[in-house]
Amino acid sequence: MTNLSAQLENLKASVSRHGWARSVRSYLENALNKIVYYRIIHIIVLRHENLSPEPPCGNLRHGARAASIEDLLRMQADGIWEMGEDKIAALREGDQCLLSLVDGQLAGYTWIHSEGRPRLFPELRLSTPKDYLYNYAGFTLPKFRGYGLQSHRHRQILSFPQWKDKKGLVGYVDAVNWSSQKGQSKSGYQRLGSILMIGPRHNYAVFISKAVRDFGIGRIEE
């Protein structure tokens, strides 16, 4: 299959899932990125009062615990957890990984930055309000998807003693990641505004919408 044929097949599959408007936008952004770095992300917030209802779990027992470096190294060795060196480095630098358990089995994880200065990308670090946690890199093992683990994780994070006074969670989602946007909205996240990155790939300009700035989020120049 030629490169053009492959692109047309991908576009056709995208249209069937997301419609023409979204698919064309994704296609154009991918084309633009071949010329200049261009990316829009939506900053999203999950306030404590907007946590989605506890999903039914039948006879299953859900649990959570903080991961150790030994846990992460074992997961990396297993090769099924998307556990790269960057995540292991994040734990060593002070971020925390919360492991999700279903009937005592490891089912997934999510990451929490609580220091108010998360690095979203190599060239972008943000300041965030101290009364919110930055939540990122959630993962669920395929056989446990559909169990409502994302909602359980959100509740578990905000019930931990060291975080019970936090107002909620902050995160981001790519503007063209339609599936993720739908899932985050279902979890109770609301969109604050957007951040536009455009320019040379390793020296791009960053434009932050007023609503995001007013919330207390800004770029940290390094």
Per-residue confidence (pLDDT) for residue 56, from 0 to 100: 63
Tell me, what's the pLDDT at 186? 85
Burial 26-64 (b: 16+ CB within 10 A, else e): bbeeeeeeeeebbbebbbbbbebeebbeeeeeeeeebeb
**pLDDT of the residue at 16:** 63
Helices (H) and strands (E) in the chain, counts: 7, 11
pLDDT, position 69? 97
pLDDT digits (tens, 9 = 90+) for 189-204: 999 999 999 999 889 9
Instruction: Identify the three-state secondary structure at position 63.
Output: strand
Could you list the pLDDT tens digit for every one of the 222 residues in the chain? 466 566 656 656 655 665 666 677 777 778 888 899 999 999 999 999 999 877 666 667 888 999 999 999 999 999 999 999 999 999 999 999 999 999 999 999 999 999 999 999 989 999 999 999 999 999 999 999 888 888 889 999 999 999 999 999 999 999 988 888 888 888 899 999 999 999 998 899 999 999 999 999 999 998
CA distance 182 to 1: 32
pLDDT at 17: 63
Residue 9 has a pLDDT of 66
CA gap 96, 192 in Å, rounded: 25
Residue pLDDT, tens place only, 20-42: 666 777 777 788 888 999 999 99
Amino acid at 134: Y
Alpha-carbon distance 83 to 140, whole Å? 12
Instruction: Give me the pLDDT at residue 47, please.
Output: 96
Give pLDDT, residue 118. 97
Cβ burial of 162 (10 Å; 0-12, 13-18, 19+) is exposed
pLDDT at residue 187 in the model: 87
Structural domains present in the chain: 28-219 (3.40.630.30)
Structure tokens at 105: 């089995």
